[in-house]
Amino acid sequence: MTTRRRFLLASASSLALLAITRSATAAGDDADLEALIARMTIEEKAGQLSLFADPLRLASRRINPDAGPSMVDSGLAQRIREGRLMGLFNGVGAADGRALQRIAVEQSRLKIPLIFGADVLHGLATVFPIPLGEAASFDPALAERTARAAAVESTAAGIHWTFAPMVDIGRDQRWGRVAEGAGEDPYLGALFAAARVRGFQGRKLSDADSLLACPKHFVGYGGALGGMEYNSAEMSEQTLHEVYLPPFKAAFDAGALSTMAAFNDLNGVPMMAHHRLMTGLLREQWRFRGMVVSDYTADRELVMHGVARNERDAARLSILAGVDISMQSDLYNQHLPSLVAGGEVPLAVVDEAVRRVLRTKKRLGLFDDPYRSLDPAAQRRDTRTPATLDLARESARASIVLLKNDRGVLPLRKTGQKIALIGPFGADTANLAGPWAPFSDMKDAVSLEQGLRNAMGGRATLTVVKGCDPERTIRGGIEDAVAAARDADVVLLALGETQDMSGEAASQTDILLPIEQQKLAEAVVAAGTPVVVLLRNGRALALEGAVRDAAALVVTWFLGTQTGNAIADVLFGEVSPSGRLPVSFPQSSGQQPFFYGHRSTGRPQTTAKDPYWKARYRYVSHDALYPFGHGLTYASFRYGDVEVGPGTLPWDGTITLAATITNTGRREAEETAQLYVRDRVASLTRPVRELKGIRKLRLAPGESARVTFTLSRAELGFHDEQMRFVSEPGAFDAWIAPSATAGKAATFELLGPAGAS
Ligand code: NOJ
């Protein structure tokens, strides 16, 4: 009995040792750190692997640069003096941070500086659109700029490390954390992951405004079964490697030097104990040299997962798997010393984890200047600057997606119109930031109503009626709303989710609008005035009835500080909408999980006339209401045929695919051309389409432009049944199209290697 267990234990330890020997050689340039490690006690080492939420500053959530020092006499201060703390997270403020850092570098034995982390997902004080919204811009360069601005604001406020970007793929919209990522597609996800890492980290990690990135949650968290938060994920190795891992790889290739281990188990192995992925893939195969932090108390949760006998065992499994830092549970502090003394965890494993932490602190410049990013004057100077607020407006505008615009009801005229703003989110200011913006300063945030008023400047009439609360009726609310609708030339109907309906721990069994809002919409649309529905949402929604059938539909996500101004810019035509859906909007909730890049089934429904014995539901086909990539502008565009040149892609060469796109509308607008491919015949079923390229082009009326994309065989490859990455010669379809379901395919052929028959 003990033999099997011992054997497993021994083999995990020796694998961990193997990884250490390899990277220790590479760490030869850090002799100073080696000397430091040699002086550390096992308690100090465990301390460098233990991270805690900042209990005092978290409670106040203040971002006042002059606050503090608040906790010099607390028990935490004593812990810092004893060198038993790696750092703190989710406390913000340069002055407090400085005071705490002073304790570490002046009063602790080894004077190792603390690191301060925080969940800065889409801005600190200034709030940019939620990451899912910003992904709708289909513009990674924009995400890089907002991440940079967030880094400047955060580092000024005493933060060195953000637990972002969140790069989980979200294919089930019941899962609330879809809001934090870049949507359903691995290609788009990888582009945004890399861009955000570049933006956060800036030019050099040691710069005072560089924010260490932490792509999370490694890995498969978005695959939670049934879309239920914290649930197990079950997926093929192929799906793991082709869908869930690529954004992480892109983030590490862009230089991210930390990652967070996820809460979930993957095919039965909790990620916190997943040696094969955490060490084998991450460290040995990908050569990742940064540090891995657990999610909040996730090591302790190995007990509830039923793979650890007790907390001590949980600490042992986590450190052996490759999780360097224990967040919040204190298990490493409590158990690593005795686990090492008892020979259950080799000292070398602990040393290597400490080495990764110290090396990262060194790269951040904390040993040279422990007070970097802890300057109250910088916090005053760099918080909510006019340039950052402008960027918040620009990014919010670019995130808005126009799904539908019947009879050109949009854009609105600014003068001489009677506009009724109806719905729970018209005047609302409590749901502008989105679910994960704990440090936002929303005191001057612009509500939808305020944004409209700013734009109209009194030249049109605006009547504002709530109609209902987000999840409750208001007595007489519907009657008032209908009266306002009847009296107006156009209705703006502001519906959707409160910010606590999406985000962490906010899974839903369906993705419908709350019934109270649906009833309001039915009554308002029946009044006969043209209705523009403005959706506030952290996920794709299943739109039904009057909402689905309204004259115009606009997806506004949670847009942050500049919400109202940005929406007004689009509604009044200051800018043409340009956003595209990063998640498919299904016809019905019950289609979840639902995403465009599903594998080919044997019985696809190819025509609407042929509903029987096909892959579909009784009342609903396997199609989107609005597909991934969809989004209208105030112009219209014609796509020419896809040109494939000679039609062949040589094995070691490239192929250029091109199409001419013409603005056939009456105003300038930005179009987003998308390249999709499909492998016609392969040894495994392949997605019906896969995104392989994006081009944004701004065209004046009547203007044409030719877009080109280049592909090589690597981009057509996949993992075969034995998990070998292969490209298989043969025919591929290619689309250059405005969405994942639009366009006409052309075909090209990947030729085999020269000499192969
Ligand atoms: C739990 C969340 O899953 C994670 O994303 C976050 O970074 C930590 N809490 C810390 O706040």
- As a whole number of angstroms, the distance between CA 595 and CA 396 comes to 24
**Nearest partner of 142 among 436, 490, 578, judged by Cα:** 578
pLDDT digits (tens, 9 = 90+) for 155-176: 999 999 999 999 999 999 999 9
For the cut 60, the answer to whether the pLDDT of residue 433 exceeds it is: yes
- Are 432 and 396 in contact by the 8 Å Cβ rule? The answer is no
For the cut 70, the answer to whether the pLDDT of residue 397 exceeds it is: yes
For the cut 80, the answer to whether the pLDDT of residue 414 exceeds it is: yes
Residue 481 CB partners (closer than 8 Å, separation 6+): 420, 422, 423, 465, 466, 467, 520, 523, 524
- As a whole number of angstroms, the distance between CA 434 and CA 672 comes to 26
Number of CB atoms found within 10 A of residue 599's CB: 11
The beta strand positions in 183-246, using DSSP E, are: 216-218
**Nearest partner of 467 among 496, 424, 527, 419, judged by Cα:** 424
Active site residues: 295
CA 23, 26, 29 angle in degrees (round to 5)? 130
For the cut 80, the answer to whether the pLDDT of residue 27 exceeds it is: no
Averaged pLDDT for residues 52-81: 63
- Are 133 and 558 in contact by the 8 Å Cβ rule? The answer is yes
Averaged pLDDT for residues 359-369: 98
**Strand pairing report for 531-536 and 326-327:** unpaired
Say if ligand 1 is within 6 A of residue 311 CB. Answer: no
Q: Tell me, in angstroms, the distance from the centre of ligand 1 to residue 226's CA.
A: 21
How much is the pLDDT for 757?
Answer: 54
Question: What DSSP element (H or E) covers 535?
Answer: strand 531-536
Q: Which amino acid is at 113?
A: P
Q: Tell me, in angstroms, the distance from the centre of ligand 1 to residue 254's CA.
A: 22
Average pLDDT, the chain: 94
How much is the pLDDT for 611?
Answer: 79
Say if ligand 1 is within 6 A of residue 216 CB. Answer: yes
**Strand pairing report for 115-118 and 161-162:** parallel
Number of CB atoms found within 10 A of residue 713's CB: 20
Averaged pLDDT for residues 431-457: 95
Say if ligand 1 is within 6 A of residue 119 CB. Answer: yes
Number of CB atoms found within 10 A of residue 528's CB: 10
How much is the pLDDT for 15?
Answer: 46
Say if ligand 1 is within 6 A of residue 510 CB. Answer: no
Q: Environment class of residue 408 by beta-carbon count within 10 Å: exposed (0-12), middle (13-18) or buried (19+)?
A: exposed
The tokens for 483 are 């009266």
Pocket test for ligand 1, best of 90, 119, 271 (most atoms within 8 A of CB): 119
Say if ligand 1 is within 6 A of residue 504 CB. Answer: yes
- As a whole number of angstroms, the distance between CA 583 and CA 739 comes to 11
Q: Tell me, in angstroms, the distance from the centre of ligand 1 to residue 263's CA.
A: 10
How much is the pLDDT for 58?
Answer: 54
Residue 516 CB partners (closer than 8 Å, separation 6+): 468, 469, 470, 471, 472, 473
Q: Tell me, in angstroms, the distance from the centre of ligand 1 to residue 58's CA.
A: 14
How much is the pLDDT for 24?
Answer: 45
- Are 638 and 661 in contact by the 8 Å Cβ rule? The answer is yes
How much is the pLDDT for 14?
Answer: 47
Averaged pLDDT for residues 198-213: 98
**Nearest partner of 597 among 624, 570, 575, 577, judged by Cα:** 624
For the cut 80, the answer to whether the pLDDT of residue 755 exceeds it is: no
How much is the pLDDT for 612?
Answer: 85
Averaged pLDDT for residues 217-241: 98
How much is the pLDDT for 1?
Answer: 33
The tokens for 48 are 């460098």
Percent of the chain having pLDDT more than 70?
93
How much is the pLDDT for 71?
Answer: 44
pLDDT digits (tens, 9 = 90+) for 311-346: 999 999 999 999 999 999 999 999 999 999 999 999
The tokens for 756 are 């192969």
Per-residue confidence at 18, pLDDT binned at 50, 70, 90? very low
358 half-sphere exposure, CB direction, 13 A CA radius: 25
Determine which residue's CA is closest to atom 1 belonging to ligand 1.
296
Percent of the chain having pLDDT more than 90?
90
Say if ligand 1 is within 6 A of residue 218 CB. Answer: no
How much is the pLDDT for 17?
Answer: 45
Question: What DSSP element (H or E) covers 479?
Answer: helix 477-486
Residue appearing with tokens 């990013």: 373
How much is the pLDDT for 12?
Answer: 45
Q: Flag the least confident range among 13-17, 31-35, 45-49, 248-252.
A: 13-17
For the cut 70, the answer to whether the pLDDT of residue 67 exceeds it is: no
Averaged pLDDT for residues 566-591: 98
How much is the pLDDT for 28?
Answer: 53
